[in-house]
Structure 1
Amino acid sequence: MIIDLHRALQVTAFLLIGFSFNFAHAFIATNPSLPVTKRLTIQPIVVANNDGLSQSTFMGDPSDEIEIRNWVSSIWSQAGIGVSWLAPEFRNDTFINYGDSPFNGVRPVSDLDVIVASAGSDPANAMDSHLLRMFFVQIVPGQESLSSYSIAGRAQVDESGSAMFVGADLPGAQSMGESLGNQIIARVIAHEIGHNLDLPHVNSAENLMRIDLGEFPTLNARLSSQQVTTARQSRFATAIPEPNVISAVFAATGCLIARHRRRVRSNYRINR
């Protein structure tokens, strides 16, 4: 998926008027939230060249990052899925960042699998198999070099990896007083997460998984009931323990600790 903010706002005067309600002055349109009983965990990986230069944009400054994450969470709350982010990792690798021929047309789509494989995995870490790895790069596989007001993404379907390009001027970009840039970033990130959760593209004007956004307000991000079911069944959407289960675990742990303390104190008195 690719979106250019300037192009989106300059389509036609008619569409621009429509965007004043749905695009620039409103919010990302979703269905009502469901109780959050599943969780995704994302590991962002911010890439630079081998020499440390040309580091890719992540999500802008801390306030932009918070807003983008909140929008992503809002989108996926309609499926009852929470989104957690780990601290970004930083990596210097020119191939991951640009590919072999960074200024020669479209980057091969096949580069995505190579990028994701480079992350490796830890078989001893149970969480590792449920982790979504999101690489922030300068050129996304399947795309060419884009403007500083653009965003593009490509994700593996029903697999753990994705690559994102965020133009340096897009985070925090304003339109008619609204942080439209952050909302666009959040929508594209949420779209790519959908692919990781086994959601294909659809031809529905208001759907999160629609790919061709040229004729429709970009900020529509609804999910159908079937998409919600599919996403929640993904192995990457792990169950959140119910509060009573957590309480029972803590209660049992507390009893064990109390018993252990009593034993220690008894032994202490006897030995003294």
Structure 2
Amino acid sequence: MKHAILGFLLITIHFLGCSQQKKTSSPYVLIIQPIVVQSDKGDNPASIAVPEELVDRSYEKAGVDFRFLEPIFYNDTKTRDGLINLDEIVENVRKEGILRGQDDVVNMFFVNAVDGNKGPLGRGMMNGNFTFIALGERTEEEDDRELKYMQAFVIAHEVGHNLSLKHIIDDDNIPDDVPNIQGDGNFKDRIDPKYSLTDYQIDIVRKSNLVHPRIDFLKKEKGEIAILDETFEPYFSQLQIREISAFVGENPPLQQVDSARVFARKKFASAVTNFTPKEKKCISYVTERVIEILEKNSISLMADQPWRFIKIEDWLCGGFAHTRGTYIILSQRHIDYLTKEWSENMTPEDEQALVVKLGGLLVHEQMHSLQRTYKSRFTKLYTENWNFVRADITVDESIKVDQVSNPDAPIAEWLISNPVDKDSYYWLRTLLKKGKGIPVMGKDFVDKVFIIRKMNGNYFVQKDSLQNPNYKTVDDIPFYKNSFPTSRGLDHPNEISAYMFSDYFKALAEEKKPFSDTAPEASKNAKAFTDWIKVYMK
């Protein structure tokens, strides 16, 4: 079976290790999704190496920072070994839903060979978002530094084609007597910022749709596309009719689920609107202050993540802030409330209050962006530190029909371990209350804790004698309810970690000790979270 899976933690740490000391200084960012291709059986992956600091240096003069997301794996032997051509590969991965982004992310495949040719070499689609990298086998003559120069050059060169840069031999606007990332010369010299790009090339790079401002406000046209992104995880494709009614405030014209989902996509896109200059200025100011605080506290994983914003009208999703892909979605109501104190002449006290209030929301939402782009780090937190169990639950139709798909946690895959029965678990779900008419966001939500039994390796909702699912309330499992220093978002660890990180950030902004007033029964999970941040959010 050909599919994409998350990279293992060890390869992720190795992959990111080159850039731990990198500072957020570049005004532009380019997002890259590494895709490591392995065999059909899911073993023997192609080599991956990303000397990120050197790649960044090659685009330093253009002010572009390369943001490499956590690798995913794709199982296909022929693709890995270059036994099928690139056009066929691209067609296959499109059909299988492997690609990330809406033509605004570079999908970088690491393979053993390209069109039958082994590395070191690469192929970058001119003005496209595909790159294939074959690093080849290391020779005995290569030392570590020279190898990294070569690897950085191959990546920088091929991505250059994605950014519409031609080979120097094909472009009369670039001199061919000096090193350049699209020309000849020593690898070290070609990625040296002194030579790597000319002013002419920099102008081309900055015009690319793949290059974004680090703090980016999407215009309506682009936002209408971005808000529908499902390339990182499913959302619209799993919505049910009742929740669609709640999200958009009206019933779908047709009561078939496929038609209702088409209707939902149209309504979500229609809600996107433009930011005003004042809103951009305020949010940019707060975001810059947030980044400063994060960097000061060595939380570079979030500081370096692109801050990309979409604005929606208040009727969508009750005006709640949420995320999709790498985008933070804010409603007019939220923006008005959080920016009402903004002015050019704020007092230091007003500035501080604004950063704590609005910044606390922004880091909460940015946490959700990280959860879907660095999944293995959060899996470690949830399973090893917080004792959640990931499972594929066989869902009863009576639950599904009333589900509320949280856009920040759309996959209800986490179970709470029963401390007295190793084969029993609790599954906390937010559902819509039964009733006629259009459900109201928030008001018509209810949390139910379903009993899950594990039988023969499978997970089932336990039912009573009338075949109705058994459930409790959160109050019925106090060992869980009281185990975190937050009472919000307990239906999913994505929400728990986002709410906790917001509180953590606010304490840092106010120069206080995070979770200093945590109740004793929640102190264990609070400390585990603090320790996790120090290691996995670098």
Task: Report the TM-score when normalising by structure 2.
Answer: 0.33
Per-residue deviation, residues 174-228 of structure 1 (Å, max 9, x unmatched) = 1xxx611011100111000100000010032411101xx4xx3232222111100
Aligned to 1:268: none
Report the Cα distance in structure 2 between the residues aligned to 1:127 and 1:58, rounded to whole angstroms: 21
Aligned to 2:132: 163
RMSD: 3.3
Alpha-carbon deviation of 1:117? Answer: 3.6
SS in 1 for 2:47: coil
Please say if 1:138 is aligned against 2:112: yes
Alpha-carbon deviation of 1:257? Answer: 8.6
Q: Find the partner of 1:46 among 25, 36, 49.
A: 36
SS in 2 for 1:179: helix
Aligned to 1:98: 81
Alpha-carbon deviation of 1:255? Answer: 6.5
Structure 2: runs of 5+ lacking an equivalent: 1-24, 170-175, 191-195, 217-280, 291-337, 340-353, 362-538
Choose 247-256 or 193-202, whichever is displaced more.
247-256
Matches within 5 A, 1:95-244: 95-100=78-83, 111-120=85-94, 127-141=101-115, 144-145=117-118, 150-169=119-138, 173-174=142-143, 179-203=145-169, 204=176, 205-210=178-183, 213=184, 216-221=185-190, 222-241=196-215
SS in 2 for 1:116: helix
SS in 2 for 1:219: helix
Per-residue deviation, residues 16-61 of structure 1 (Å, max 9, x unmatched) = xxxxxxxxxxxxxxxxxxx7221100001001121234420001xx
Instruction: Decide whether aligned partners of structure 1 residues 81 and 256 sit closer, same or farther in structure 2, where only a CA change above 3 A counts.
Output: closer
Instruction: Decide whether aligned partners of structure 1 residues 95 and 256 sit closer, same or farther in structure 2, where only a CA change above 3 A counts.
Output: closer
Alpha-carbon deviation of 1:171? Answer: 11
Instruction: Decide whether aligned partners of structure 1 residues 172 and 206 sit closer, same or farther in structure 2, where only a CA change above 3 A counts.
Output: same
Aligned to 1:247: 285
Per-residue deviation, residues 64-115 of structure 1 (Å, max 9, x unmatched) = x4xx111001111121111100000111101211243xxxxxx7xxx22332
The structure with higher relative contact order (CA 8 Å, sep 6+) is 1
SS in 2 for 1:120: helix
Report the Cα distance in structure 2 between the residues aligned to 1:256 and 1:193, rounded to whole angstroms: 33
SS in 1 for 2:168: coil
Alpha-carbon deviation of 1:152? Answer: 0.7
Identity %: 24
Return the letter of the residue paired with 2:46: S
Instruction: Decide whether aligned partners of structure 1 residues 257 and 192 sit closer, same or farther in structure 2, where only a CA change above 3 A counts.
Output: closer
Instruction: Decide whether aligned partners of structure 1 residues 170 and 79 sit closer, same or farther in structure 2, where only a CA change above 3 A counts.
Output: farther
Alpha-carbon deviation of 1:168? Answer: 3.8
Instruction: Decide whether aligned partners of structure 1 residues 144 and 36 sit closer, same or farther in structure 2, where only a CA change above 3 A counts.
Output: same
Report the Cα distance in structure 2 between the residues aligned to 1:49 and 1:140, rounded to whole angstroms: 15
Report the Cα distance in structure 1 between the residues aligned to 2:101 and 2:139, rounded to whole angstroms: 32
Report the Cα distance in structure 1 between the residues aligned to 2:48 and 2:140, rounded to whole angstroms: 9
Instruction: Decide whether aligned partners of structure 1 residues 200 and 171 sit closer, same or farther in structure 2, where only a CA change above 3 A counts.
Output: farther
Alpha-carbon deviation of 1:151? Answer: 1.1
Please say if 1:80 is aligned against 2:49: no
Alpha-carbon deviation of 1:248? Answer: 4.4
Contact 1:116 1:133 (C-alpha < 8 Å) held by counterparts: no
Larger radius of gyration: 2
Contact 2:82 2:111 (C-alpha < 8 Å) held by counterparts: no
Instruction: Decide whether aligned partners of structure 1 residues 154 and 171 sit closer, same or farther in structure 2, where only a CA change above 3 A counts.
Output: farther
Report the Cα distance in structure 2 between the residues aligned to 1:171 and 1:78, rounded to whole angstroms: 34
Report the Cα distance in structure 2 between the residues aligned to 1:140 and 1:233, rounded to whole angstroms: 28
Report the Cα distance in structure 2 between the residues aligned to 1:230 and 1:155, rounded to whole angstroms: 16
Choose 191-200 or 47-56, whichever is displaced more.
47-56
Contact 2:286 2:358 (C-alpha < 8 Å) held by counterparts: no
SS in 1 for 2:102: helix
